Amino acid sequence: MRETQEPLEVLHRVFGHTGFRGMQEEVVRHAVAGGSGLVLMPTGGGKSLCFQVPALCRPGLGVVVSPLIALMEDQVAALRQQDVPAAALHSDLDPDEARAVRRALNEGSLKLLYVSPERLVNEETLARLDEMRIALFAIDEAHCVSQWGHHFRPEYRGLTVLAERFPGVPRLALTATADPRTVQDIQRQLRLEDSPLFRASFDRPNIFISAQPREQERAQLRAFIRRAGDGTGAGLIYCGSRRKAEQTADWLRADGHDSLVFHAGLDPVQKREAHRRFARGDAVVMAATIAFGMGIDRPDVRWVAHTDLPRSPESWYQEIGRAGRDGLPAQALLLYGAGDIALARHRIGESGAGDDQKRVERQRLDAMVAIAEAATCRRQLLLRCFGEDAPEPCGQCDICLSPPRLFDGTVAAQKLLSAVLRTGRRFGVGHLVDVLHGKTTAKVAQFGHDQLPTFGVGRDLTETAWKGIARQLVAQGALDVAVENHGELVPTDAARPILKGERPVMFREELVTPASRPMTRARAADAAALASPGDPCFAALRDWRRRTALAQGVPAYVIFQDRTLAEIAAGRPDSLAALGTIPGVGATKLERYGQAVLGIIRDCD
């Protein structure tokens, strides 16, 4: 039987990384020593190595439970590139493939087995595992065990059996969902109450975050994509409905983007194809609902945009966390409107959930609205939702870059609220602005609104400013939008003290051109050592990688990640030894691709 191996040595030799990141080392050493635990790390934080390294260090087979076939397949492909004997066992294998996996298991030639939860708890699999030496069980995306999350998978509940049946084998559960209920649920279900909890910081400093009121959605998105895209990495747009995802993919395509669509209404074959094209394509843009989530392993997602307000900071963060897993600069943009806020509130009220659950969901929504309407650093607000206190503003969000000015909007709020009341609570914001501006439109004349005392009292503010005030009153809970009708504004109880002058209101001045950091500056900050995207050597390496990946039928990043190619292009190594010192070039990849890469470099000089 193999001796236990040194984690750092495995990290260098197999994965080609120079060192562990953050909490990884602590988790790995704990698991190698035979300990169980729950690991909370943000998306892109590097969870895979937390179980892959100990599985390779310890004698026996590492068993990884994963909820998604695409995810398993990509991880297995990546491991095989590093010469790690790995396989996946799930319902999608044809009988020949399943037999080959079982044979490899019997022969004891596998080091890592990825398996779906239902396959694992099947008696036949368990009986086979009983006979074998198991290095550890890793339960990836462990929040699937919890009913509180959006991704509850009843089959995950069956995993309780692991603690009873394999008492001496370490169990590592991993997730990016850190809210206390989910955490407790995981600990209880997986019998991890007495094991340590490893909680990494949830900050992802390489993601620049920004939010804007939705005014001209397409124009805003076009500008964002122009700024955030780098011509090679992928982008993701989350939409509030299936229809919007379809429409968005359509106009993106008409704009000349290689666009894809994903939502729960697609059939399994279409879904798999969308996943595959997203993983394999170069500069693809995916328009999707939140159904597109787990199984996105692509490290070079350069930007994530939301066209509608997410329901909680947790879901928003998980979605934008899919950007910049490679550690290079990435950007997130949130577009939202007053209607979104009202609609989300309305939905919670109408849902069949219990009062407790409704209260929790309202709190989450309010926290999300506060981030969208923030007047101070957005990241500080966001991290506070995860129980982290960031002492300093981040300098990596739109608010930090150009803080909005606040003004006392009590009088403006009174004017708007009184226009709402005097017109009979029956009109949307457009008509109300016409009244405030004193415009005699046909509708104004029809209803005699030019006779109201509020007619023309709001000429001092622009239409954009008035719309901003209406939205901020909705966000502050003083106005409601009748979502089931035509978006008419209706005052709530909270409007009364404002009208009476008992409560002052502060507003953010609406920015005319929303701030955002141009990509070039953010990139330059990253590392002068990295080659510029325009470097012909980098382009040649990418082209070689594309061909190599295509020939093997694997995603390009499985061969080498962008970051690694950029460092190779910048360093122009002229020997295998020099190439081997570059992060991301492990022993196996050096042997497999070293000569080819050196050849490409020679050709471009």
Instruction: Enumerate binding residues for ligand ADP (CB under 6 A).
Output: 17, 20-21, 24, 41, 43-49, 297, 299, 325-326, 561
Amino acid at 401: L
How far is it, in rounded angstroms, from Cα 248 to Cα 218? 9
The DSSP output letter for 143 is G
Nearest to ligand ADP of 204, 306 (CB atom): 204
3-class DSSP state of 66: coil
> Segment contacting Zn ion (CB under 5 A): 13-21, 185-193, 369-377, 500-508?
369-377
The size of the interface with Zn ion (CB under 5 A), counted in residues, is 6
The DSSP element (H or E) to which 479 belongs, if any, is strand 479-481
- Among Zn ion, ligand ADP, none, what does residue 48 contact (CB within 5–8 Å per kind)? ligand ADP
Smallest distance from Zn ion to CB 403, Å: 9
Task: Map tokens 């059996």 to a residue.
Answer: 161
Between the two ends of the chain, the Cα-to-Cα distance in Å is: 49
How far is it, in rounded angstroms, from Cα 344 to Cα 341? 5
- Among Zn ion, ligand ADP, none, what does residue 400 contact (CB within 5–8 Å per kind)? Zn ion
Sequence-distant (≥ 6) Cβ neighbours of residue 460 within 8 angstroms: none
Nearest to ligand ADP of 87, 582 (CB atom): 582
Token duo for residue 65: 């439970």
How far is it, in rounded angstroms, from Cα 577 to Cα 593? 13
The DSSP element (H or E) to which 254 belongs, if any, is helix 242-254
Nearest to ligand ADP of 323, 478 (CB atom): 323
Does residue number 372 form part of the binding site for Zn ion (CB under 5 A)? Answer: no
- Among ligand ADP, Zn ion, none, what does residue 394 contact (CB within 5–8 Å per kind)? Zn ion
> Segment contacting Zn ion (CB under 5 A): 80-88, 181-189, 351-359, 390-398?
390-398
Strands (E), 297-445: 301-306, 330-336, 406-408
Nearest to ligand ADP of 63, 432 (CB atom): 63
Nearest to ligand ADP of 346, 592 (CB atom): 592
Smallest distance from ligand ADP to CB 12, Å: 10
Nearest to ligand ADP of 64, 470 (CB atom): 64
Nearest to Zn ion of 59, 205 (CB atom): 205
* Binder among 162, 397, 417, 436 for Zn ion (CB under 5 A): 397
Smallest distance from ligand ADP to CB 326, Å: 5
Smallest distance from ligand ADP to CB 147, Å: 23
- Among ligand ADP, Zn ion, none, what does residue 331 contact (CB within 5–8 Å per kind)? none
Which alpha helices (DSSP H) does 449-586 contain, by range? 463-475, 495-499, 519-526, 536-552, 556-559, 562-571, 576-580
Closest CA to 169 of 134, 216, 211: 134
Is 269:230 a contact under the CB 8 Å cutoff? no
Nearest to ligand ADP of 327, 477 (CB atom): 327
- Among ligand ADP, Zn ion, none, what does residue 337 contact (CB within 5–8 Å per kind)? none
Smallest distance from ligand ADP to CB 313, Å: 18
Provide the mask over 326-365, with x wherever binding to Zn ion is found by CB under 5 A and - wherever it is not.
Answer: ----------------------------------------
- Burial classification of residue 277, based on how many CB atoms lie within 10 Å of its CB (0-12 exposed, 13-18 middle, 19 or more buried): middle
Amino acid at 163: A
Token duo for residue 185: 């649920």
How far is it, in rounded angstroms, from Cα 312 to Cα 395? 23
* Binder among 78, 394, 479, 570 for Zn ion (CB under 5 A): 394
Q: Which residues bind Zn ion (CB under 5 A)?
A: 377, 379, 393-394, 397, 400
